[in-house]
Structure 1
Amino acid sequence: MFHQAGMHGFHFFPFPITLILLLIIGFLIARSYGYFGGSSTASKVAPEAPKSQNSEALDILSRRFATGEIDEEEFQKRTQVLRLNL
């Protein structure tokens, strides 16, 4: 009875394997384009660590020195005070 179907009734055997292989290949291609949590540029960007108050103060101090609001002596004194209080 199954002998006439070819391969003794297992003529459908390659279809599931082919389907599974196509699904795996499709998944790998989709993942390479960033779907399914794969590698994308947005996920590679590390979250920025919160700045401490001293580093913010040093940034402000550097900007004030760069714009000429304070002179070099004042900048050195305030920088030294901020670094001692880290």
Structure 2
Amino acid sequence: MPLKILSKPKPGYTDSARTNGKQGTIVLAVLFSANGRIEATLVLKRLGYGLDEHAVNAARRIKFKPKTVGGKPVQVVKMVEYSFAIY
């Protein structure tokens, strides 16, 4: 069975990003472990202004059901995106 995301917390805007009108998408590579924890994150596409750190912190709080192969949980790397837009 594939990895199943149960909840994906949203990162907040930083004051400096809002003041500077920074918008866009951050892309992270996230290592989802077989034991149900986020083991590592790597920022592949940055926005700066503290938004990268907010996205990483949110990704670390993702709740998920691990991927299984032959009925056994396995680790997997998956791309996770966080979009920031000022409305």
- TM (normalized to structure 2)? 0.22
Q: Structure 1 or 2: larger helix share?
A: 1
Q: Structure 1 or 2: larger strand share?
A: 2
- TM (normalized to structure 1)? 0.22
Q: Which has the higher contact order (CA 8 A, sep 6+)?
A: 2
